């Protein structure tokens, strides 16, 4: 009889332990799901603007971010941080941007320069600058 009671006690303790482990697994799963949802919401909040407009004496320049991202196969690292900061802070472009940028192959001149991946800015002012 004594062995039977010990067996029942051991079974009850095992059940209690299994319930406790199941509860811990459930809590862990909730944290994983909440973390994934929070990460997804945070990433959605960082959605880039479709277009950026820069004022210039030569005419407004509208940068179509969506088209550039599509051409880069949505690989942000093609331009960010190498050519542009990945930030919502103003870029503060100033007059005389082209020559220094072209010399260093920075900014737009990372691609828009002779021999670059896109049309050369030199001689194509109206392609970007619209009055």
Which region among 9-18, 71-80, 97-106 has the lowest average model confidence (pLDDT)? 9-18
105 Ramachandran zone, left/alpha/beta (phi>0; psi -120 to 50): left
Query: What secondary structure letter does DSSP report for 48?
Result: P
What's the pLDDT score for residue 18?
Answer: 62
Sheet containing 129-130, strands listed edge to edge, beginning at the edge strand earlier in sequence: 51-54, 60-64, 129-130
Contact 65, 49 (CB under 8 A): yes
What's the pLDDT score for residue 89?
Answer: 74
The answer to whether the pTM exceeds 0.75 is: no
Residue of 51 and 46 predicted with greater confidence:
51
Average pLDDT for 99-123: 89
**Token pair in block for residue 46:** 């960082």
> CA separation (Å) from 14 to 11, 28, 40, 108, 119?
5, 21, 39, 66, 72
């Amino acid at each position: 009889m004594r062995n039977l009671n010990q067996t029942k006690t051991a079974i009850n303790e095992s059940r209690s332990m299994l319930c406790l482990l199941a509860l811990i697994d459930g809590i862990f799963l909730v944290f994983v799901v909440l973390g994934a949802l929070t990460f997804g919401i945070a990433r959605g909040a960082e959605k880039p603007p479709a277009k950026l407009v820069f004022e210039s004496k030569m005419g407004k320049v509208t940068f179509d971010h969506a088209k550039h991202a599509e051409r880069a196969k949505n690989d942000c690292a093609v331009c960010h941080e190498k050519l542009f900061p990945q930030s919502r802070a103003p870029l503060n472009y100033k007059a005389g941007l082209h020559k220094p940028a072209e010399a260093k192959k920075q900014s737009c001149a990372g691609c828009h320069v002779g021999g670059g991946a896109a049309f050369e800015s030199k001689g194509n002012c109206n392609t970007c600058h619209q009055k």
